[in-house]
Amino acid sequence: PKQRTLAVIKPDAMEEHKEKILEEIHASGFSVTQLKETVLSREVAEEFYKEHREKPFFGQLVEFMCRGPCMMLLLTKENAVEEWRAMMGPTDPDQAKETSPNSLRARFACDILHNSVHGASNEQHAAEKIRFIFGEICTEAEANSG
């Protein structure tokens, strides 16, 4: 069965790598069901990353995510959550270079904060973030997609 996930191209990757990342998303068999380029407000970035509110890097993370446009994508594919996470590679690009040299983060990310892309960590997070970013109409479609 098809699954949905939320993907984000972060501000550090938007200028230089956006087109290449989109091309690879399509080439890997994902359907881009929704797509929105936007500069996040502080409030939206804080809500989006609320699971990380207590982390020491939360302030930096929010600041970084608001510094320029992001591309938010609703991706559909079989096993989309895991497949997109595999395509991104580990959070830390130094680790990504070791274990997954072909991953997006190994090739494009600067460091563990400025790591080029985001993906929902599981199906429930994906549904929650898709609803938050794209609204109810996507959630209804999800419920009906079987």
115 annotated ligand binder:
yes
Determine if residue 57 is labeled as part of a ligand binding site. yes
Catalytic residue among 26, 52, 114, 118: 118
Q: Cα 32 to the chain's mean position, in Å?
A: 13
Dist CA 93 CA 90 (whole Å): 7
Instruction: Decide whether 14 or 112 has the Cβ nearer to ligand CMP.
Output: 112
Question: 105 labelled as ligand-binding?
Answer: yes
Is position 26 annotated as part of the catalytic site? no
CA distance 106 to 116: 10
Rounded Cα distance, 78 and 4, in Å: 8
Binds ligand CMP (CB under 6 A): choice among 36, 42, 52, 53: 52
What does the block give as tokens for 85? 């996470």
- Is there binding between residue 115 and ligand CMP (CB under 6 A)? yes
Alpha carbons 23 and 33: distance in angstroms, whole number: 15
Applying CB under 6 A, does 32 fall inside the site for ligand CMP? no
10 appears as a binding residue in the annotation? yes
Q: 3-state SS of the chain: helix, strand, coil percent to 5?
A: 55, 20, 25
In total, the chain counts a number of residues equal to 146
CB 112 to ligand CMP: min, Å: 5
Distance CA 25, CA 29 (A): 7
- Of 118, 126, 138, 142, the residue at the interface with ligand CMP (CB under 6 A) is 118
Q: Does 61 bind ligand CMP (CB under 6 A)?
A: yes
* 112 interacts with ligand CMP by CB under 6 A: yes
Q: Indicate which residues carry an active-site annotation.
A: 118
Residues in touch with ligand CMP (CB under 6 A): 52, 57, 61, 91, 112-113, 115, 118
Q: Which residues are annotated as a binding site for ATP?
A: 10, 57, 85, 91, 105, 115
